[in-house]
A = this chain, B = another copy of it.
Amino acid sequence: MVRGPTTDEHGTMSDLNEKFARLGIESAPGQERRQRTDEVDLSGPVLDGTPVDFSHGDVDAFTPIPGSFDVVEAGFEEGGAQAYTEYRGRLSLREDLAAKLAHFTGAGIAADHELIVTPGTQGALFLAMGSCIARGDRVAVVEPDYFANRKLVEFFDGDLVPIPMDFLATSSASGLDMGALEDAFRSGVRLFIYSNPNNPTGVVYSRSEVEQIGTLAERYGATVIVDELYSRQIFDDRPYTHLRGLGVIDPERVITIMGPSKTESLSGFRLGVAVGPPRLVERMEKLQAIVSLRAAGYSQAALRTWFAEPDGWLAERVAQHQAIRDDIVAVLDAVGDIRTRPTEGGSYLFPTLPPLRLGIADFCKALRLQAAVSVTPGTEFGPAFTRSFRINFSQDHAAAVAAIERTIEVVDRYRAPVLEVAAGD
């Protein structure tokens, strides 16, 4: 039998092996059940308690916007017009969204040219980055920030330029290193991505910081993608600043991403929205056409209930999350050597642990096996976060607090001996 070289012998195929090896998802939120756990050092007995999956919000604890399924059902009954929308989403829906989001973000939106409905905000991020990153482009990404940002830069063959955010150093601003951002722009970076509120820390950027980001990007002709997924869930009446509403940067170079998956618990419909200049929205739609055509037609209808929730519904939801945050932060602070910056917006908290005698990925596996608590290792958000983990505290209030108490017990099991710390840390 004549045999050509097998695919694995190809140079290009090895590149592909490497590329996908870097795209690890074993520790990604929701994927924990696929982990290998046979090599984890388990200390002590299993702790009783209600299992809590902090890797994502619990839509059973905080249910979807009332009426959201009814509009989807009406869309299904309507039939073809809702099933087969333009790739960028149904026009009447985009008109509705454009008006709502223009009001929310403080700047006008042309429904037909500046907005695209996407399969979740993950879809929006993919399309936005795919529309802006060419092979070899250097792209500035905050550390810590949403793990997919880094993976997407790598997938599109860009080069990561990390911009550190010292979120534990201050409480009046995010702690983003503006000098590093300007250095990056000065050295040729033409794309910057950040989430506000920050994922995983829950930090909200100050108005002055957002102004500086916009002003720097404008000065160097850079494009900014801002992920504002959690911008409706801001605590303590803190002010929130939309970059696109500030007027400090040419709208031709700003993409704003939002969606109803988090605060509004519509994640099961997979819906996101991106707002940007016509030239980039057009690229995003072209990419959508080969990626998945459109956000599921029937699902799109659920967006009608977004920003149209019953009176008081959103305020109550925000207050409930703020209360959970307060209780969890109090429990963590009482330990003494777990460092936490209280969440300012969104449902994430990113505690930093004392030195442990096992790595953070293994700690997360042990925590799941010993305490039925799933959290996401800090290293998913930047290589430096080897002692942090992220929780999404959009959970049943009492179960979440109890799960954090169990987490602290497991931390105590794995504390590194003090001497070893002095010598090696």
Task: Determine if A226 is an interface residue (Cβ-Cβ < 8 Å).
Answer: no
1/0 per residue A5-46: CB within 8 Å of B? 111001011011001100111001011011000000000000
Shortest distance in angstroms between A403's beta carbon and chain B's nearest beta carbon?
16
- Contacting B at CB under 8 A, from A329-357, are none
1/0 per residue A124-162: CB within 8 Å of B? 001000011111110000000000100110010000000
A59-B86 contact in complex given A15-B135, A286-B23, C-beta closer than 8 Å? no
Once the chains bind, are B86 and A152 in contact (CB under 8 Å)?
no
Task: Determine if A291 is an interface residue (Cβ-Cβ < 8 Å).
Answer: yes
Stoichiometry, as copies per complex, reads 2
Once the chains bind, are A297 and B267 in contact (CB under 8 Å)?
yes
Once the chains bind, are A12 and B136 in contact (CB under 8 Å)?
yes
Count, chain A residues at interface, CB 8 A: 87
Report B-chain residues with C-beta under 8 Å of the C-beta of A63: 79
Task: Determine if A165 is an interface residue (Cβ-Cβ < 8 Å).
Answer: no
- Bound Cα distance A292, B73 (Å): 23
- Bound Cα distance A64, B80 (Å): 10
Once the chains bind, are A126 and B84 in contact (CB under 8 Å)?
no
By beta carbon, the residue of chain B nearest A221 is B6
Report B-chain residues with C-beta under 8 Å of the C-beta of A186: 4
Task: Determine if A58 is an interface residue (Cβ-Cβ < 8 Å).
Answer: yes
Partner of A33, one of B28, B86, B137, B295: B86
Task: Please tell me which stretch of A92-100, A115-123, A361-369, A410-418 contacts chain B, meaning at least 4 of its Cβ atoms lie within 8 angstroms of it.
Answer: A115-123
A293-B73 contact in complex given A3-B219, A82-B268, C-beta closer than 8 Å? no
Task: Determine if A296 is an interface residue (Cβ-Cβ < 8 Å).
Answer: yes
Task: Determine if A188 is an interface residue (Cβ-Cβ < 8 Å).
Answer: yes
By beta carbon, the residue of chain B nearest A12 is B134
Once the chains bind, are B119 and A296 in contact (CB under 8 Å)?
yes
- Bound Cα distance A79, B151 (Å): 29
Once the chains bind, are A283 and B15 in contact (CB under 8 Å)?
no
Report B-chain residues with C-beta under 8 Å of the C-beta of A152: 290
- Contacting B at CB under 8 A, from A234-286, are 253, 267-270, 282-283, 285-286
A3-B292 contact in complex given A59-B79, A59-B83, C-beta closer than 8 Å? no
Once the chains bind, are A4 and B220 in contact (CB under 8 Å)?
yes
Partner of A7, one of B56, B221, B292, B295: B221
A137, A223, A290, most chain B CB atoms within 10 A: A290
Report B-chain residues with C-beta under 8 Å of the C-beta of A253: 7
Once the chains bind, are A16 and B73 in contact (CB under 8 Å)?
no
Once the chains bind, are B119 and A292 in contact (CB under 8 Å)?
yes
A122-B73 contact in complex given A30-B87, A80-B60, A131-B20, C-beta closer than 8 Å? no
Once the chains bind, are A290 and B134 in contact (CB under 8 Å)?
no
Partner of A123, one of B82, B220, B287, B292: B292
- Bound Cα distance A292, B271 (Å): 10
Task: Determine if A398 is an interface residue (Cβ-Cβ < 8 Å).
Answer: no
Once the chains bind, are B120 and A292 in contact (CB under 8 Å)?
yes
- Bound Cα distance A13, B131 (Å): 10
Shortest distance in angstroms between A146's beta carbon and chain B's nearest beta carbon?
11
Q: Could you give 9 example pairs across A and B, Cβ below 8 Å?
A: A7-B222, A13-B137, A15-B135, A28-B87, A30-B87, A119-B296, A120-B293, A122-B291, A270-B299
Chain A residues proximal to chain B, CB less than 8 Å: 1-7, 10, 12-13, 15-16, 19-20, 23-25, 28, 30-31, 33-34, 56, 58-60, 63-64, 69, 73, 75-76, 79-80, 82-87, 118-120, 122-123, 126, 131-137, 148, 151-152, 155, 185-186, 188, 190, 219-223, 253, 267-270, 282-283, 285-287, 289-299
Q: Which 7 A-B pairs have the closest CB atoms?
A: A83-B268, A12-B134, A270-B296, A119-B292, A268-B297, A4-B220, A123-B292
